[in-house]
Structure 1
Amino acid sequence: MTTASGNATGHSSPRVPRAGGAGRWLRPVAAAPNARARLICFPHAGGSAGFFFPLLKSLPGTVEAYAVQYPGRQDRLAEPCLTSVDELVDAACEVLRQEPAMPLVLFGHSMGASVAFEVARRRERSGAGSPLGLVVSGRRAPSLRRAETVHQRDDEGLIAEIRRLNGTDDALLDDPEVRRMFLPALRADYRAIETYRMAPGPPLRCPLSVFVGDADPRVSVAEAEAWREHADGEVSLQVFSGGHFYLSDRPQEFSDRLSAELTRLCGPVTGSR
């Protein structure tokens, strides 16, 4: 079964992951035999790579897509969870460094938006190359701090937060075995994002696209608009109808609008999937 949260109970992709560390971290979502660019997708707190499989159905024909699989969930359930954004960024940057060179677009939803943002910053600072673009979704600008302690709640408190976001079926949240599998990763991810603080640094050089739901209880449109101060280049804001998981509720609209952004960032292509 697959949940909107993409937690440890969801099915992973039927494709066989590539060998080595990259194969553990990067899961192929959409192939493109003549790829000119690669889309890397970072999931939300408690999420997994499988979250993106139903969402990327109409990408440009020259963009291949991979989703990041964090440790501590699905087929990485036995691995220790990472508990800071810095650790997630360190690991992602090392994996991307080992990959064949190709222009990148980074996409992240919720916690994944912060991870993708820091990966983009790290690559620009290190000389690894500025991404073609960064697309952030369902997350307030990193300069806007808010005291959050969800990761310190008991299990019922964590579950209450997930119910509030409408990210997972209630039947799954009520299943003790399911909860036992996904709560450790969920708590670790909430600890990572709630203790994250952006270090000072120059704004991004790459184009920045911001997606947000107009009824998201975690981020207002104004808080999403504040991403503009973190980029020197072009910044666009797209507001969707829906809450925190607007992209799961409106998968075709999301896919179409992301595809349009990729075409703009990567150049015109012939056809789509």
Structure 2
Amino acid sequence: MTGVSPAPDPRALLSAKRWIVRPRRVADPGIRVFCFPHAGAGAAVFAPWARRLPPEAELCAVRYPGRENRIDERPFEELRLMVDALEPVIAPLTDRPFVFLGHCSGSLIALELARRIRDRGGRLPAALFVSSIVGPARHSSDGIHLLPREAFFERVALYGGIDESVLADPEIMDVFEPTLRADFRIAEEGAPRGAAPLDVSITAVGGRHDPFVDFEGLAAWREETSTAFTVHHIEAGHFILDQTMERLADALPGLPRQAGAEVPAPSPAG
């Protein structure tokens, strides 16, 4: 049974302003879309989508510490601690239907937060969208966050999603390196294995030419849900944030709008 979210606490809403960016406020949203960025990224990467979603959908982009206007804050290095901080921030905004979308390492954060909400008896997301990352059951660590500086930056550049001018600027990278390493540590440690599958539909999106995530790795997300699962394996490389958002936008009209509504099986992958 889907849980009922507590009444919003004004203090929690104030705290949420640091964590949650809503580029286009919707007075009475029919659904909220929580977006979790990839390693090194902030809420700004999702901003262009605020007006490309249906009018009743409110985009809520998550901004982690250590970037954008939180650059002076220490980044989280452990997934559990990240979720500890996120849970009370997002809870007041789950007073209506919502979905989670994560790109790359953001997918693991979204998954673990959904598990935490489930374990607390809260309202679950209507759907979870993940992209460009291997499912936790097949996850393994390459120790990227432990690489020497030059090798680390070379590997980060291969993933895309961070402007080359930023990666090439030593002064910027002096400031940003701890945040990047912390993000990659979270990605490599991954969501804990062995947790019970979520009663939430999952859509996984990946690129056929992604050198880091093959089809089997992407399809391993099937093990994280007890209900509908879809894989979209598209003609693209690793960085497919826009393509993932497009699939979420297409799916929104068919998602449940009431707590406890049955999640429909997605159409065949395209």
Most deviating of 47-56 and 185-194: 47-56
2:254 to 257, 264, 268: 264
Q: Which residue of 2 aligns with 1:130?
A: 124
Amino acid in structure 1 at the alignment position of 2:57: V
1:57 shift after superposition: 4.1
Kindly indicate whether residue 234 of structure 2 is the aligned counterpart of residue 240 of structure 1.
yes
Report the alpha carbon displacement of residue 97 of structure 1 after superposing the two structures with TM: 2.0
Does the 8 A contact of 2:100 with 2:110 survive in 1?
yes
Contact between 1:25 and 1:69, CA under 8 Å: does it hold in 2?
Answer: yes
| Residue identity matched to 1:86 | R
Q: How does 1:156-167 map to 2 (within 5 A)?
A: 156-167=150-161
1:111 aligns with 2:105: yes
C-alpha distance in 2, partners of 1:29/1:139? 26
The answer as to whether partners of 1:22 and 1:99 remain within 8 angstroms in 2 is no
In 2: Cα distance, 1:261 partner to 1:70 partner: 26
Asked if the contact 2:118–2:124 (Cα under 8 Å) also holds between the matched residues in 1, the reply is yes
Contact preservation (8 Å) 2:35, 2:61? yes
Q: Secondary structure at the match of 2:138?
A: coil
Displacement of 1:255 in angstroms is 4.0
Aligned equivalent of 2:91: 97
Q: How big is the shift at 1:232?
A: 0.8
- In structure 2, the gaps of 5 or more residues are 1-11, 258-270
What is the CA distance between 1:54 and its match in structure 2? 2.4
What residue number does 1:15 align with?
none
- One of 67, 71, 75 as aligned partner of 1:81: 75
Which runs of 5 or more residues in structure 1 are unaligned? 1-17, 268-273
Counterpart selection for 1:178 from 168, 172, 176: 172
Cα distance between partner residues in 2 of 1:199 and 1:226: 12
Residues 84 and 196 in structure 1, CA contact (< 8 A), matched pair in contact too: no
DSSP-derived class of the 1:202 partner:
coil
Query: Which digits, 9 at most, give the CA deviation of each residue in 1:238-257, with x for residues without a partner?
Result: 1222112123xxx3x54432
Structure 2 counterpart of 1:155:
149
CA positional deviation for 1:171:
2.6
Q: 1:210-229 residue pairs with structure 2 within 5 A?
A: 210-229=204-223
Q: Cα 1:167–1:256, aligned 2, differ >3 Å: closer, same or farther?
A: closer
What is the TM-score of this pair, normalised by structure 2? 0.85
Shift of 1:215: 1.3
The answer to whether residue 199 in structure 2 is matched with residue 209 in structure 1 is no
Alignment RMSD: 1.9
Residue in 2 that maps onto 1:6: none
Residue 67, structure 1, aligned to residue 94, structure 2: no
CA contact (8 A) 1:165 1:243 kept: no
For 2:251 and 2:94, locate their aligned partners in 1 and report how far apart those are by CA, in whole Å: 23
Deviation at 1:68, TM superposition (A): 0.5
Q: 1:52 to 1:151 in 2, by over 3 A?
A: same
TM-superposition CA deviations, 1:38-85 (whole Å, max 9, x none): 110001111111111124542122211111100011111111111011
- Please give the secondary structure, in 2, of the residue aligned with 1:114: helix
Taking the aligned partners of 2:38 and 2:45, their CA distance within structure 1 comes to 9
Give the 4+ runs in structure 1 shifted more than 6 A: none
**Aligned amino acid, residue 144 of structure 1:** R
Alignment of structure 1 residues 1-80 onto 2, 5 Å: 20-80=14-74
